[in-house]
């Protein structure tokens, strides 16, 4: 077994110092080592986007990163958004527009959308669709997700 490597990571505002195997995937680190199971893994090869997190503000696929690559990084997962009683505007929008069914892909969509809306607070239909084009959803046909992204933009502007 390879030697473990010490890493320092900030996840959702909490600092963690952990020893990890060099081959440990960032997605597994977040889910298993830190117990933050809101981030889901759908394909393990970077295509479906279910495992999308923010790393230093950028949406990345945690299944194609090793935990050691996150050393020193600031990470945000779906758990950083809202709570059950106090949903984030993007979460509210997903609920209001019925933009989730099984909910497995949803955390990836939320993190992708959060990053996108930060830089593009007023997307058109087409832009909103393009923004989430890299995330897979099997349940919704995407239309309601596009609607939710637009509604979230409006909610965030009103905030």
Partner 1 sequence: MAEKNVQKSLKRNEDPRLLVGKTTFIDDIDLPGMLHVAIKRSDYSHGRIVKLDVEEARKLPGVVAIYTAEDLGDYWRPGPLQVPPPTAIKGSVFHARPLECIAKNKVRFSGEPVAVVVAESRYIAEDALDHIILDVETLDYVGDLEKAIEPGAALIHEDLDSNLAADVVQEVGSWEKAVAEADLVVKRRLEVNRVAGGAMENRGFVAQWDENLQVLNCWATTQGPIPMRNSIANYLGLMENQVRLMNPAIGGGFGPKIMSSQIDDVVIPWIAIKLKRPVKWFEDRRENFLGTTSERDQVHYAEIALKKDGTILGVKDVMYHNTGAYNPYGMTVPLNTQTHTVSNYRVPNFFTEIKMVFTNQMVVTPVRGAGRSQGVFVMERLLDAAAKELGMDVVEIRRKNILSPEEFPLRTGVIGQDFVEGVLDNGNYPAALEKTVETIGYEKFKSEIQPKLRAEGKNVGIGICMFTEGTAVGPYEGAKVMVGVTGKVTVFTAYSNQGQGHYTTFAQVAADQLGVNVKDINVVIGDTGQWQWGVGAFASRGMTLVGTAIHNASLKVRQKALGLASKVLNTPEDELEMQDGVVRVADMPEKFVTLGELAQRSNPTRGTVEEGMEPGLEAASYYGPPHGATGYGCLGMIISVDAETAKPKIERLVMTDDCGTPVNPMIVDGQLHGGLQMGIGEAFYENLVYDDYGQLLSASFMDYLFPQASDMPDKFEINHMVTPSPLNPLGIKGVGEAGVIATPACFMQALEDALNIKGMEIVESSISPSKLYHYMEKAKSA
Q: What are phi and psi of 28, to 5 degrees?
A: -70, -35
Pick between residue 72 and residue 155 the one whose CB is nearest to partner 1: 155
Pick between residue 7 and residue 100 the one whose CB is nearest to partner 1: 100
Q: Using CB under 8 A, list all residues that contact partner 1.
A: 1, 21, 23-24, 31-32, 35-45, 47-48, 50, 77-79, 81-84, 87, 91, 94-96, 98, 100-107, 110, 125, 129-130, 132-146
**Minimum CB distance to partner 1, residue 8 (Å):** 22
Sheet of 52-55: strands edge to edge? Answer: 14-20, 5-11, 74-76, 52-55, 58-61
Alpha-carbon span 74 to 23, nearest angstrom? 20
Tell me the sheet residues that pair with 58.
55
**Minimum CB distance to partner 1, residue 57 (Å):** 19
**Minimum CB distance to partner 1, residue 15 (Å):** 20
Tell me the sheet residues that pair with 10.
15, 74
**Minimum CB distance to partner 1, residue 134 (Å):** 8
Spatial contact of 49 and 88, defined as CB atoms under 8 Å apart: no
Pick between residue 73 and residue 135 the one whose CB is nearest to partner 1: 135
Pick between residue 102 and residue 157 the one whose CB is nearest to partner 1: 102
Alpha-carbon span 128 to 93, nearest angstrom? 13
């Amino acid at each position: 077994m390879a030697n473990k490597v010490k890493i320092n990571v900030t996840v959702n505002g909490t600092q963690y110092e952990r020893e990890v195997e060099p081959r440990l995937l960032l997605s597994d680190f977040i889910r298993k080592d830190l117990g933050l199971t809101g981030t889901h893994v759908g394909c393990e090869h970077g295509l479906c986007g279910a495992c999308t997190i923010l790393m230093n503000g950028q949406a990345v696929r945690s299944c194609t990163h090793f935990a050691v690559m996150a050393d020193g990084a600031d990470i945000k997962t779906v758990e950083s958004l809202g709570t059950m009683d106090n949903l984030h505007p993007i979460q509210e929008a997903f609920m209001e527009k019925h933009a989730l069914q099984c909910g497995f892909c949803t955390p990836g969509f939320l993190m992708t959308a959060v990053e996108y809306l930060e830089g593009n607070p007023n997307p058109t239909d087409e832009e909103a669709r393009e923004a989430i084009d890299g995330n897979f959803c099997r349940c919704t046909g995407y239309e309601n997700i596009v609607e939710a992204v637009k509604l979230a933009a409006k909610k965030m502007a009103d905030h």
